[in-house]
Structure 1
Amino acid sequence: MTLFRGFLLLCVLLAGVLLTVWRGVLDVPPRWNPWAPLDIRETPNLLTSFKLWRLQEDPALCQQALATSPLRFTPLADSNPSADCPLHNTVRVQGSGVRFSSSFMASCPLATAFALFERHGLQPAAMAVFGQPVTQVDHVGSFACRSIAGSQRRSQHATANALDIVGFRLQDGRRISVLRDWPKEGANGEFLRQVQQAACASFNTTLGPEYNAAHRDHFHVDMGLFRMCR
């Protein structure tokens, strides 16, 4: 009973602190304020996932976060709810600090998570392993109005909330392929493993070649409800 009362008191105190921060009574740095807009440039912390979650139903807040990144994008109009796969709060991503093999549609939270991944995961991994940056990300698409293979449940691709990445190109022109290089020892394989772990930190779900045969040639990343790193 004493332990329960102590836990209850801690919850009440925490709720009180959050209320004072929300009302502006207690001034804290934006990166430690749950209600401050997400800044892509700041190192991710325990509040980053909460701030990403807040972007789902708030296009203006999401675009405010994207404005702190080098991502180049165009906001898209919501599609008709009667469509098989209606889209809401989406953008078309044209480029960033990296090029893309083609532009793609993305939910705004997915685009924001990619911007975090690029700055705090992908490029640091490339510099650590190769001493040079990634200049292009090769992908095979984001939006596809379909269900998960062997299931009746809609894929995250059906809401442009997922992206399949097949490889990367470095500044010296070298191409790193998930299909070819994941099984290998050495720099290429080490880089891909670091990239996968970095993706797990930025996206809710990251599935790679060791998840199943269907993912042997790409990293699937999405911003679905469940967290998974495989």
Structure 2
Amino acid sequence: MTFLRVFLLLCMLLAGALLGLWRGWLDVPPHWNPWAVLDIRETPNFLTSYKLWRLQDDPALCRQALSTSSMRFTPQTDSSPDVSCPLTNTVRVQSAGVAFSSSFIASCPLAAAFALFEQHDLQPTAQAIFGQPVTRVEHVGSFACRTIAGSQRRSQHASANALDIVGFRLADGRRISVLQDWPKQGKNAQFLRQVQQAACTRFNITLGPEYNAAHRDHFHVDMGLWRMCR
């Protein structure tokens, strides 16, 4: 059998398997089914990014995913399309497994990505380094109807698809600041660096203090079209 025939046979088998999953003919655990609802509680795998992507244009599916997390949120009505920065498929986030310095409007996929990040990355990292959880995330906003600095392109903030995180507070009251602790040595700096790298696996773009001076005091995370970890 030639290589081409083997390749075509494998493609046909893969297509048949995907069709079987989609139609429900094959019984596999939801964790391994690309069309099953994203379950925030499950350990992320190679399908997680695809499941997050599916939430962009499906508010009902996205809210189903969020309901599997500890996040407290309120669905928001889509804004009028004729405003400068229309918002669709958004929620107001009140809390997750952590408190926030204030509630914020987020695209539903951004909220889902944060829920994954908080449960599977942020808290395990805090426990490993400090032996205690993060209880509060301090941020400086998600929605801002503006362009990217020095550009005519709309920022992801203009669609509430980005969040700027400036610090964290631990259970013992200790505050970890991106501005103050990133340049130092020690556990706080180690924690921030590990958290930033983990964020790169959950969000499409993660920018920190080493990206440019404008980000010296915060982590920018968003669910835009491109992928970047800086």
In the superposition, relative to structure 1, how do residues 8 and 154 fare at CA in structure 2: closer, same or farther (>3 Å)?
A: farther
Query: Structure 2 counterpart of 1:180, which letter?
Result: Q
Which residue of structure 1 aligns with residue 134 of structure 2? 134
2:188 partner amino acid: N
Equivalent position of 1:224 in the other structure = 224
Amino acid at match of 1:208: G
1:3 Cα deviation from its structure 2 partner: 4.4
Percent identity, please: 79
Deviation at 1:7, TM superposition (A): 3.5
Kindly provide the CA deviation profile for residues 120-162 of structure 1, in whole angstroms up to 9, marking residues without a partner as x.
0000000000000000000000000001111111000000000
State the distance in 1 between where 2:171 and 2:224 align.
32
Q: Which residue of 2 aligns with 1:125?
A: 125
Match of 1:214 in 2: 214
Give the gaps of 5 or more residues in structure 1: none
Partner of 2:94: 94
* One-letter amino acid of the structure 2 residue matched with residue 195 of structure 1: V
**Distance of aligned partners of 1:8 and 1:225 in 2 relative to their CA distance in 1, 3 Å threshold:** farther
Matches for 1:1-230 after TM superposition, within 5 Å = 2-230=2-230
Q: Distance in 1 between matches of 2:7 and 2:207?
A: 36
Q: What is the letter of the counterpart of residue 226 of structure 1?
A: W
1:227 deviates by: 1.1
Structure 1 residues 4 and 186: CA distance shift in structure 2, 3 A: farther
Q: Distance in 2 between matches of 1:192 and 1:11?
A: 43
Tell me the amino acid that sits aligned with residue 94 of structure 1: Q
Q: What SS is found at the alignment partner of 2:165? A: strand
Distance 2:49 2:10 in 1: 22
Q: Which runs of 4+ in 1 moved over 4 A?
A: 2-5
Deviation at 1:201, TM superposition (A): 1.1
User: Partner of 1:102: helix, strand, or coil?
Assistant: strand
> Secondary structure, in 3 states, of the residue corresponding to 2:102?
coil
CA–CA distance in 2 between the matches of 1:217 and 1:178? 5
CA drift at 1:10: 2.5
Query: In structure 1, what is the Cα distance between the partners aligned to 2:136 and 2:201?
Result: 21
Deviation, 1:14, is 1.2
Offset of residue 4 of structure 1: 4.8
Are residues 4 and 197 of structure 1, via their aligned partners in 2, closer, same or farther at CA, if it must alter by over 3 Å? farther
Unpaired segments ≥5 residues, structure 2: none
Deviation at 1:103, TM superposition (A): 0.4
Q: Provide the rounded CA distance (Å) in 1 between the counterparts of 2:162 and 2:29.
A: 32
Structure 1 residue 183: deviation in Å? 1.1
Corresponding residue SS for 2:65 = helix
